[in-house]
Amino acid sequence: LLQVSIRSPEDEEPLLKENPNRFVVFPLKYHDIWGFYKKAVASFWTVEEVDLGKDMADWEKMNADERFFISRVLAFFAASDGIVNENLVDRFSQEVQIPEARFFYGFQIAMENIHSEMYSKLIETYIRDEVERNTLFNAIFEFPCIAKKADWALKWIADQQASFAERVIAFAAVEGTVVDFLHLLIISRNIEIFCRYFLFWIICFDFLA
């Protein structure tokens, strides 16, 4: 009998090929990926560096609609970074075999944690009512619009049939479309409290431009 070997596209993907040298990064092979990793490391920051001392005075100046809008966006951000990390931990960092990319993923996981902590800290600072605050911390269960976005992203993490390329595109959409759009939407509001914060954020992450 004639046996035909059918190879999937992922069999040819260099990032996913079994690599016995994946535990040591030198000598470098993918210099472009390593460059992004080093730029990320150089842009490291912590929540403690962000001064929230003036924020409550600015928060009090907002009207009810602005507070509603900002609080929901922060709630989405706080949850979405955790979902991005779940994908990195459970899928991408285990599947990708080249150490330069694994280094980047490892640092990205740390930075996503800091982002999530920052957004949660902003909610904790601005929202004094405990019931409302807990509702925002549980946004993926409380708000249908946020739940739908979370479910869509989680679906791609759990999908065992989708190719690596398809899942990369899906999470590029999560990070590059949904999240970035909300960042720009906040900046466009020209609210002083967020102009300060996002100026800091943009300076730290201008390597992504």
Is residue 52 included in any domain, yes or no?
no
Q: What is the pLDDT of residues 65-108, one digit of tens each?
A: 888 888 888 898 888 888 899 999 999 999 999 999 999 999 99
Average pLDDT of every residue of the chain: 82
Is residue 119 included in any domain, yes or no?
yes
pLDDT score recorded for residue 59: 84
Q: What is the pLDDT of residues 112-154, one digit of tens each?
A: 899 889 889 989 988 999 999 999 999 989 999 889 989 999 9
Interatomic CA distance for residues 205 and 108, integer angstroms: 12
Contacts of 91 (CB under 8 A, 6+ apart): 157, 167
Q: Is 37 a catalytic residue?
A: no
Is residue 8 included in any domain, yes or no?
no
Prediction pTM value: 0.81
Is residue 27 included in any domain, yes or no?
no
The CATH number given to whatever domain includes residue 189 is: 1.10.620.20
Is residue 20 included in any domain, yes or no?
no
Q: How many domains does the chain have?
A: 1
CB 49 within 8 A of CB 116: no
Is residue 57 included in any domain, yes or no?
no
Is residue 19 included in any domain, yes or no?
no
Residues 30, 37, 105, 119: which is the catalytic one? 119
Is residue 13 included in any domain, yes or no?
no
